Amino acid sequence: GLLGDGGLLSTAGILGGSSGLLSRGGLLGNGGLLGGGGLLGVLGEGGLLGTVQGLTGLRIVELTLPRVSLRLLPGIGVHLNLYTRVALNAKSLLGLLDIAVEVNITSRVRLTMDGTGYPKLVTERCDTLLGGIKVRLLRGLLPVVDNLLASVLNRLLPNLLCPVVDVALGLVNDQLGLVNSLVPLGLLGSIQYTVSSLPLVTGQFLEVDLNTVVGQVAGGLVDYPLGKTEAVPTPPWVPMPPLPPMVDTSSSQLGLSVNFLSSVLSVLQKEGALDLDISTGMFPELPPLTTSTLGALVPAVFEAYPESHELLLKIAVPEAPVVTLKKNKGVIQLMATAEVMVIHPDDVQRSLCLLNINTSLLAQFSVEDNKLKIGVSLEKADVSLVSSSVGGFDVSLLEMLVDQIFDVAFLPAMNSVLGVGVPLPRLLNIDFTSADIDVMEVSAQAFPE
């Protein structure tokens, strides 16, 4: 039968016997297509695979965009996995080889601090795993897939591909280096951010602690400067607590201390950016600033100046504002002085009265263009009389006018100064624009997420 002694698969059949298709003289024989003198002969001793040990000129000609995955290694740094497809050229004894190979690169990367205080990622180990190797000889004449070639490439490719990891880490290190930076605070000062210690690496997050030094354009430093400090009164230091749990929808979190916010306002106050002079007509929403307007509220003023004179109101902030952060609420305690000057003929100015105005301002926080913006509104104001050239009077008569001056003139001017924004630190090019913000009780922080 078909499978019997004389059939297809018998010793004398088409696949068997001395002249069968699979016999020594057939397809697999010495002279057959896949035999010693055939196609596999090229791959045998003295053939292509006998030359792969001597591959020369191996170079990468194309690298597809890698797929990168990261896993944090607690106390160490990062485990990096990179998958890509690589096209290479090499020379062999038989001519030019075109090689295509799939590569998985795994690398263990340690987070360190270099000698200048910059965080830095350093490769500790790099391994490559190859798969799907395809080789073309003489422009497609011979496709080859072979374990021996894989062994050779496994020995050669790490020297070519692991430097790719180092290049990628170099780009990341460039971004990490931007954290230590000196950035302008408008035209009035600057903020210096520096990494204070080796960042903490856990299985869930990477935490970087920063020192902030806020300085004036041509003056001393505020907050925690290095070296000798200018005698600048600073508010009591509030310790920085741990960050709260990060919500699942966030990939990054930034905590700002009350000390930092107070330092920024201190610089603005020392530079006089919060001071404001107001004359009649500057703000159409205000009543005319004249002795007649003031005399209608305070009879002693009308008695001293029966003829109307223009007034100049000089508002100054002699002390640094104090920031307090409560749950979902930021409060700025600001003490201002308001001196009322009477303008006499020939522009001679004489003081009419000096007021102390202790205010409580509500602060709202937002992030635009990666800058923290602070907006303030008046919660309450307490007015007291310091001195007067017309004798004592009941200052409560001026409270409504003072509130109106703050709402229409002083606070918009202050918001214009604060609207420049406080530049936030750059970490791995994270942009906190339009971030959600939490204000926390006593922990004294505003948290963009």
Q: What pLDDT does 303 receive?
A: 94
pLDDT of residue 203: 86
Q: What is the pLDDT along the chain (449 residues), one digit of tens a residue?
A: 333 444 333 344 433 444 443 334 433 334 433 333 333 333 333 333 344 445 677 788 888 888 889 899 999 999 999 898 888 888 877 678 788 888 899 999 999 998 888 899 999 999 888 887 777 775 554 555 456 677 777 777 777 778 878 888 888 888 888 888 888 887 778 888 888 889 889 888 888 888 888 887 544 444 443 333 333 444 555 555 566 677 776 778 888 888 888 889 999 999 999 999 999 999 999 999 999 999 999 999 999 999 999 999 999 999 999 998 888 889 999 999 999 999 998 889 999 999 999 999 999 999 999 899 999 999 999 999 999 999 999 999 999 999 999 999 999 999 999 988 999 888 877 888 888 888 876 543 444 54
pLDDT for the residue numbered 185: 84
The predicted structure's pLDDT at residue 374: 93
End-to-end CA distance of the chain: 81
Report the alpha-carbon distance of residue 179 to residue 244 in Å, rounded.
Answer: 22
Are the CB atoms for 315 and 283 separated by under 8 Å?
no
pLDDT at 80: 92
Look at residue 375 in the predicted model and tell me its pLDDT.
Answer: 94
Q: How many CB atoms lie within 10 A of CB 89?
A: 14
Residue 192 and residue 212 in contact, taking contact as beta carbons nearer than 8 Å: yes
Contact 52/148 with Cβ under 8 angstroms? yes
Token representation of residue 114: 């270099």
Q: Is 95 helix (H, G, I), strand (E, B) or coil?
A: strand
Residue 416: count other Cβ atoms within 10 Å of its Cβ: 10
Dig out the tokens for 120 from the structure.
């830095």
CA distance 87 to 392: 91
pLDDT of residue 172: 87
- Phi/psi of residue 310, each to 5°? -75, 150
pLDDT of residue 153: 77
Contact 329, 362 (CB under 8 A): yes
Give the residue from 192, 374, 405 showing the smallest Cα distance to 294.
Answer: 405
pLDDT for 442 equals 53
